[in-house]
Structure 1
Amino acid sequence: MVVTKSLNTQISFYKQALESGELQETYQSLVSIVQNLRTEFSKRYDGEYAVAGVLHGYLDFTYFYIQNSYLKSHKLKLAIVLNHQ
């Protein structure tokens, strides 16, 4: 049997997490990792791949995509995703 907390209880935990600042700090650290990886891809594969900017999902994932002419001709993109879970 799965017991779920009430929305009021969940909101209380959510507010505590926001007030501590730890959630924002951790999220920014994770996003920074993806931004640095994106920068490395952009430098290392300049001219070979187009590298998109970092995109934010919800709080649980951050990503960017790369694309070369082959992928583009097939209407494909390769995504680099950090799943925060």
Structure 2
Amino acid sequence: MAPFDNPFGNASSQHGMHSVIGSDGSFRTVTSTGNMAFSSDGTTYTRCGNTVFSSKGTVLTETPSGIASSDGTFFSRIGNTLFGSDGSFYTSF
């Protein structure tokens, strides 16, 4: 299970603050600026091109069809929601 919706929002260029609700009941506020993002759960994210590195050790890679996680989960995006191949989903607003 990936730990978050894309911390940089629904577009790679989005900066600012947004919230994420997970199917596991989690709620996070994420602030992004430049190539860094900071989650209210204490996680820091660093972007390098289409890849996002989490301080928790997870690596996410954006592809044209969704987001692939280093833990083997793939997330497909529909609107503001990412649906994981593990049955999880994350909605950002």
**TM-score under structure 2 normalisation?**
0.27
Q: Which has the larger radius of gyration?
A: 1
**TM-score under structure 1 normalisation?**
0.28
Which fold has the larger relative contact order, with Cα–Cα distance below 8 Å and residues 6 or more apart in sequence?
Answer: 2
